Chains A and B, each alone.
Chain A
Amino acid sequence: MTDTTTEATTWQERWQLWLSQSKAALATIPTAFELVRAADPKGL
């Protein structure tokens, strides 16, 4: 799982966390498209 339980303390940690979360969030976009396309091919 994405580590959501640790509270980042330093700026570096926060930045790291932000970066990894943003990457993870961005990476879901194509998968979400695939999901929607699979569910309803004409919907897009």
Chain B
Amino acid sequence: MLSVSTIINAAMPALQAYVAAQIIDHVVRALQQPDIWAGMQSTAPWLLVEFGLLTVSAILTQLRVFADHTLNTKLTHYIAMRIMQKAKELDVQYFEDAAFYDKLQNAKRQAEFRAIALVTGVFAIVQQTITLISFLVIVITFQPWVALILFGASIPAFVAQGRYSRLYFRLLTWRAPEFRQLRYLEELMTSDKSIKEVRLFGLGDPIVDRHEQTFTSYYDEDVVLAKKRSLLSVAWGMVSTFSFYVAYAWVVWLTIRGTLTIGGLTFYLAILRQSQQTFQGLFNSVNWIFENGLFMTQLFEFFNLKPIMPHTDNAQPMPEPLNEGIVFHDVSFRYPERTEWTLRHINLHIKAGETLALVGINGAGKTTLVKLLTRLYDPTEGSITIDGIDIRQMDMADLQRHIGVIFQDFVRYQMSLNDNIGFGNVVRINDRARIEHAADQGGAAEIARTLSQGYDTTLGRQFQQGRELSGGQWQKIALRRAFMRDGGILILDEPTSALDAQYEYEVFQRFRELTQGRTAILISHRFSTVRMADRIAVISGGELVEHGTHAELMANNGDYARLFEMQASGYR
């Protein structure tokens, strides 16, 4: 579609100029003849031809508008898909890095618009080149020096524009962190997650002020650049206009001298004007392509990001069921771009089928340990094995399929209750019986009963007819999601922090039954919960300081006993 219309439109201007000249010459000739009708008859066909040309041109233009529109819509969707697919394969560590979000921001910024502009720009150049060649033939056979000044005068403007395209690109990429800051502030002010605090702490005005400040600093730079760009364009534009009038005067002189007919005058004027315009248009297209190309480099760089974590080609299958269990061999870990160790020399054996509780103060490294086991990160030193196989030798997806997990910051999917539980095991997402069974095992079934559409009720406030739940209700559902997984390993990172005492009690009464045949890691700050575990490991400052059963650790009289006593004394 683009290519057809390009070629036809390319030949249009020269044709139209030619037809217009024919009309005028016929009229002039007719004026000198006595027979009016004969004159009209000889001119009329040319009028029809011009009408035809204009009609074709108008239809083509509209077709182009239509084609551009559909292309734009499809491309927007396609690019969003590609970005999501890329996000799917990238490691978690990308998502914990601010620079990544700058990249993403730059990649997404007007990407579909820039991609189309690049393609249409290439077509425009083809079209303009064809048009220009047709003009050039005419102008050069007319007067070579005219061509020289007309086109030569346009070059400085081209160079100046190119420079500003680059400066503009640099400004925008540089400013990516600020743009994200702006988006973030807008999000804070307008999302249900933050509105309560924003309202009660009176953060509205401070947030608006910060938005204003950040915007102003960018805006000032932007305006300076735009101003310079416009001023230069005007200055160089005048140079080329002047050159046009030199050529104009020359054509007028030729006509007065009688070398050119009136038709010739109009013909050459149209050609001169349009050829200069086309020439400038060609330069603009080149610049436009350059500018859009610069922006597109960002999208393609994003597409070219590679997962960092190594993939093995001959992956070993995840053992099922476990025999030996999970072993941490002298594992140390440092977050990328951090200098201090988050975990140091962890040696730990979690036996198959047992429940291990991880205890430690905030920031001790408990969640980090879980991230290593689930291969969201790889250890910096040491290794983790499951039944003797290094988890780096397993297929990552296979490993993760066998692990049911609830994180501290679990997700509240703004989707149906069915999906919120079913996401724990997507192949079973349509298996309502299974989902109901999972829900039944732990309190989520009662939530379903209170919802008007049962398991099909949308949860959360983000979408129409969504039902918001309480914090604890959300957590119950996330817990059910973890239990949906078929795998032999269960990881619960503070699964009961928001649960009422009654429910927590029930969960742990049935904990053995629920974790039957599974190896479980349980992280909790509640010692009433922790003591139900088979064994307890205490982490402090990234190091494993104690481990053993509740009784052993109490007898040890170390960190665990101290923390336990502290909490217990509060209840007496």
Contact = CB atoms under 8 A, between A and B. Distances in A.
B445 to A, nearest CB: 45
B290 A22 contact: yes
Contacts of B67: 43
B43 to A, nearest CB: 40
B2 A44 contact: yes
Contacts of A40: 70-71, 74-75, 78
Given A18-B166, A32-B118, A44-B2, A39 B293 contact: no
Contact of B119 (A2, A21, A32): A32
B86 interface: no
A44 B290 contact: no
Interface size class of B (residues with CB under 8 A): 35 or more
A32 B166 contact: no
A26 B169 CA distance: 15
B178 to A, nearest CB: 14
Contacts of A29: 118, 122, 289, 293
B359 interface: no
A28 B296 CA distance: 6
Given A4-B169, A44-B1, A36 B71 contact: yes
Interface string B103-130: 1000000000011101100100000000
B118 A28 contact: yes
A1 B103 contact: yes
Contacts of A33: 119, 122
A36 B75 CA distance: 7
A41 B78 CA distance: 12
A21 B170 CA distance: 11
B293 A25 contact: yes
Interface string A3-33: 0110000000000001001101111110111
B317 to A, nearest CB: 35
Interface in B279-325: 289-294, 296-298, 300-301
B55 interface: no
Given A4-B169, A39-B74, A32 B296 contact: yes
A2 B173 CA distance: 10
Given A25-B293, A28-B297, A44-B1, A39 B118 contact: no
A41 to B, nearest CB: 10
Contacts of A38: 78
Given A5-B174, A33-B119, A25 B290 contact: yes
Contacts of B166: 18, 21
B258 to A, nearest CB: 50
B297 A24 contact: yes
A15 to B, nearest CB: 13
B74 A43 contact: yes
Contacts of B119: 32-33, 36, 44
B453 interface: no
Nearest to A43: B71
Interface string B69-94: 01100110111001000000000000
Contacts of A24: 293-294, 297
A2 B2 contact: no
Given A2-B294, A28-B297, A35-B82, 19 more contacts: A1-B103, A1-B298, A2-B301, A5-B174, A22-B290, A24-B294, A24-B297, A25-B291, A25-B294, A27-B293, A28-B118, A28-B292, A28-B296, A32-B114, A32-B296, A35-B78, A39-B74, A40-B75, A40-B78
B241 interface: no
A4 B78 contact: no
B355 to A, nearest CB: 46
Contacts of B291: 25
A4 B71 contact: no
A4 B115 contact: no
Interface string B1-36: 111000000000000000000000000000000000
Contacts of A4: 169-170, 173-174
Contact of B296 (A21, A31, A43): A31
A5 B71 CA distance: 34
Contacts of A18: 166
B284 to A, nearest CB: 15
27 contacts: A1-B103, A1-B301, A2-B297, A4-B173, A24-B297, A25-B290, A25-B291, A25-B293, A25-B294, A28-B118, A29-B118, A29-B289, A32-B118, A32-B119, A35-B82, A35-B115, A36-B71, A36-B119, A39-B74, A39-B75, A39-B78, A39-B79, A40-B70, A40-B71, A40-B74, A40-B78, A43-B70
A10 to B, nearest CB: 16
Given A43-B2, A43-B71, A28 B293 contact: yes
Given A1-B301, A32-B115, A43 B1 contact: yes
B351 to A, nearest CB: 47
A35 B174 CA distance: 26
Contacts of A5: 174
A44 B4 CA distance: 9
B526 to A, nearest CB: 46
A42 B1 CA distance: 7
